[in-house]
Structure 1
């Protein structure tokens, strides 16, 4: 697992553009009118349920100008950490994830899924790499945290130099049976993390206030009606717009204030699509907020499972045309289909999942 983590750090940009499955295209090329009004598509109604444990979000300050702690909280059970920070100093730094066990008994922390991107100066590439690595990773690791001691959640980061203006972005799912303090911090390259954390101050929050602890790290979405491409035509599911799909509320554990996760970063969306047997259908992703670079896991017919880039043939899309889409595939109606993804670091939200009649039979 450590070898995989080393690869994710050293070749972040390469990984971000190397997954090519289906082409990015405009609506005109996909077989229906290019002038379709994407903003006013009929919405496929969905039921949303939040579940899956705690989400720790560390994205404020995003531009870290001083050594210190960006976020920390003591949690137990199922935990996801999403962190997204830039070294905004003029010096070389490191960004480290420390686990602190204040109890009198040792504990094992199980890391069951993770993705790491950066450090890098192309922020969209770093965010896409972190998400693609997370979606494709399937190896677990046990980290022993001694009583009254510490351990590194990601040892590679303690050896990774972060240059000025470089971004590091990561997504880590792990479990702890007892309360464990998770500390995300920036510090000098030669500093010992445990020694530094013992006296470090929490850095001030920014106006964006993108940090906190949130309940429900996964959002399960199930449409309340079966999609029939022959009858329903083109429909959409809008995500992370804070209207049809609201942002999650939480608490900033560093000061007790309420916080809102603008964009739902770190929330893993798991969308099930019930469809009619009569006709095949096509799926697309349409970014509505600007530049978007991410990935998506597809599980089809209970057995076919793969990860695609969104978009697949280049790093990002969505900054030029309102009707720009990434093709997520053509599927047979009536078959089980799950889509899993999360708002990628550095990308803009909201997005639309667009369902349409297939342009050709399978």
Structure 2
């Protein structure tokens, strides 16, 4: 991730709307500044299982364990690491079972990006793959044994300065140790894990690792939005003021930790509106360069994902008035959005609602 700058967290597919959405052919960027708009009041409710976050040290300069914890149940793993040595390495995720029974891990949803030198592209790839879903798969870890969560990484060469980023939703029926490690290319993974030491975390607000309760977040409007009365409004996400950062514990040493940017948290957003008009939606980055995807479900039928932005890889570095157009929809109908802060992108971000009169 990128870091805090000026008090703000630094952290293509061509899409055509289905017939249920209105009046657009492409999702392009437009000039729309969310900073000048009134904030639409919402209720923020954390829910779901645990988030296991491994992003510190982000720039990994030595072999070892970046993060580990013993977990079970409903788990999301988010890892984000760069090989900061001068030689090729591999970055792997190992599941270890020290219990008496075989552990069954169902990978429900996942996204993997890298290794690559283009950090924003890696983060965007993870979001796309995760939001578009795919076939789930099962991993069995017998008693006193270990298995890799992502077998492709076992043989993947991470060259110097390359990033690997992943987001994995897991259902685990018996406790396992999840270890995220960087190691020599020729080392045996299980043998390395048995001797590896935990690497020190990055200092201060850069300490982006830990285990957090509430891996999901529900955002619901406090009132029914009437565009003709309220005009253009914005909802701010991941700013630690209107939308608080999740707090947790670094399981490697027991210290409290804060997830600056809420990386790995998945937001479900529902803003009820009155019937009779249309509403255009935009995503406006406020912290700097941003590259991600967003999921939409309209009237429980039209389900699709949108690159943010669509016409370029990223936006928001110099022109903070740039906004990604998400589509125009009939007001009063069910519209759900799925959002998660992408790795390597900057937060906070604003969701803008712009009223449109029906012609």
Please name the residue that 2:161 is paired with: 165
User: What is the aligned counterpart of 2:328 among 327, 330, 334?
Assistant: 330
Superposed, 1:232-271 pairs within 5 Å as 232-271=230-269
Please name the residue that 2:117 is paired with: 121
The DSSP-based 3-state class of the residue aligned with 2:260 is coil
Q: Give the C-alpha shift of residue 39 in structure 1.
A: 1.9
Q: Give the C-alpha shift of residue 204 in structure 1.
A: 0.5
Work out the CA distance in 2 between the residues paired with 1:105 and 1:77. 15
Work out the CA distance in 1 between the residues paired with 2:345 and 2:232. 25
How many residues matched?
Answer: 337
Work out the CA distance in 2 between the residues paired with 1:126 and 1:360. 40
Work out the CA distance in 2 between the residues paired with 1:261 and 1:110. 25
More helix by share: 1
Please name the residue that 1:10 is paired with: none
Q: Give the C-alpha shift of residue 231 in structure 1.
A: 1.0
Q: Give the C-alpha shift of residue 19 in structure 1.
A: 4.5
What RMSD, in angstroms, separates the aligned Cα atoms of the two structures? Answer: 1.2
Q: Does 1:64 pair with 2:68? A: no
User: What is the aligned counterpart of 1:18 among 3, 13, 34?
Assistant: 13
Work out the CA distance in 1 between the residues paired with 2:214 and 2:14. 29
Please name the residue that 1:274 is paired with: 272
Q: Give the C-alpha shift of residue 165 in structure 1.
A: 0.3
Superposed, 1:1-80 pairs within 5 Å as 17-21=12-16, 22-27=26-31, 38-80=34-76
The DSSP-based 3-state class of the residue aligned with 1:276 is coil
Work out the CA distance in 2 between the residues paired with 1:198 and 1:19. 46
User: What is the aligned counterpart of 1:111 among 107, 110, 113?
Assistant: 107
Work out the CA distance in 1 between the residues paired with 2:273 and 2:190. 53
Please name the residue that 2:138 is paired with: 142
Superposed, 1:183-262 pairs within 5 Å as 183-207=179-203, 208-262=206-260
Q: Give deviations 1:101-129, integer Å, cap 9, x for gaps.
A: 01011121000000000000010000000
Q: Does 1:93 pair with 2:97? A: no
Please name the residue that 2:339 is paired with: 341
Work out the CA distance in 2 between the residues paired with 1:307 and 1:340. 9
Partners of 2:276 and 2:358 within 8 A in 1:
no
Partners of 1:230 and 1:278 within 8 A in 2:
no
Work out the CA distance in 2 between the residues paired with 1:265 and 1:184. 16
Q: 1:169 to 1:359 in 2, by over 3 A?
A: farther
Please name the residue that 2:7 is paired with: none
Q: Give the C-alpha shift of residue 329 in structure 1.
A: 0.5
Partners of 2:30 and 2:325 within 8 A in 1:
no
Q: Could you tell me the TM-score, scaled by structure 2's length?
A: 0.92
Q: Does 1:155 pair with 2:151? A: yes
- Between 38-47 and 293-302, report the one with greater CA deviation: 38-47
User: What is the aligned counterpart of 2:128 among 118, 128, 132?
Assistant: 132
